[in-house]
Every structure is written in structure tokens, then in C-alpha cells.
Amino acid sequence: MDKFNSHRRKLLALGGAALGLSLLPGQAFASLSTSRPRVLTLNNLHTGESLKTEFFNGKSYDKDELTRLNHFFRDYRANQIKSIDPHLFDQLYRLQALLDTRKPVQLISGYRTLATNNSLRERGSGVAKHSYHTQGQAMDFHIEGIALSNIRKAALSMRAGGVGYYPRSNFVHIDTGPTRHW
């Protein structure tokens, strides 16, 4: 009987803790689990631009740095800027931690206007009609010195959106859409 009461007490305590955490505001819960700054270093292969940014200060996103990232991820062909989903930057930061690298991310494609996306679709295969790039939720990239297959494996292990593998074109695609891969 004592064993039963001990298990019951533990179960009730865990349930109470879970309920307490669920009642915390989203911002407070996020700060509990992500208390360190997030820094990204990137190169845009098409524009030649480089960027080092602390987009998350340990408690919240830095709006000025997100603006810089939005510009960096712009559709350079149309010179159009769109707000990029900050969770994409979180995924990239987490991916670099999994790969244990601080080498710059080589951005190939971020945001694309519908016109740019349609133009790329006409020129070749592999460009989705309803691409997450057009919604500011996707990027194509590689990281110097890191095997593309290792980037893909790490991205798949996160189970945090779409992962596309394009070894002939030397890039991996990640997005913040539903979990899937190709």
C-alpha cells in the first residue's frame, strides 16, 4: 500500500508541475528553455554580403537584427524583402549546434517572390509551385567544410519542418512547414 501511495504522490507532483508550466506565459516558458543568446554568421553567395547577428538575446528576439536578417534573406533578383519566420533562424542555430560548427552558413536562396519562383520553375525542375520560400519560411544553404550528408542527417534529426537534399546542386533545404523530407 505504501508503494502505491508513493507512486501516486509522484504522479500527482509531476502532473502539478506540468500544469504549472503550461500556465506560464509563452514568453516566460521560452525564456526558461532558451536562456542563451543565439548568434548566426552568414554569407549570401549571390550578393557577396556577409552578416553576423545576435538575433535572440536569451529572452526575446531582437527586432533590429530580424530586420537585418530579412534584408539579407531578400529576393535579390527582385530586390524584395519579406519578414522571414524567426523559427527558421532558430532551426539554423540549432542545426549548427548539432553539427558543432561556427563556420558561416552559405545562403543560396531565402525569400523568393512568386514571380521569381515561377521563373525558376520554368527554367528547371525541383522548384515547388507553392514553395515555402515565397512565404519567408525556407532557405537553401550549405556550410563550408561540413559534408552535405551530415547537414541533412542533423536537419532530419530535429524533426522541425521540411528537409530537402540536393547533393548535385550542393545544398540542403530547410523550412518551417510540416515535418517531411525528400
C-alpha to C-alpha distance for 93 and 63, rounded to whole angstroms: 17
Query: Spelled out in words, what is the top-level CATH class assigned to the domain 35-181?
Result: alpha beta
β pairing state of 105-109 and 138-143:
antiparallel
In the chain, DSSP assigns E strands to: 38-44, 50-56, 105-109, 138-143, 162-166, 171-175, 180-181
Cβ–Cβ < 8 Å for 4, 32: no
pLDDT in tens, 4-14: 555 555 544 44
pLDDT in tens, 144-177: 999 999 999 999 999 999 999 999 999 999 999 9
pLDDT value at position 129? Answer: 84
Cβ–Cβ < 8 Å for 55, 92: no
In the chain, what percentage of residues exceed pLDDT 70? 81
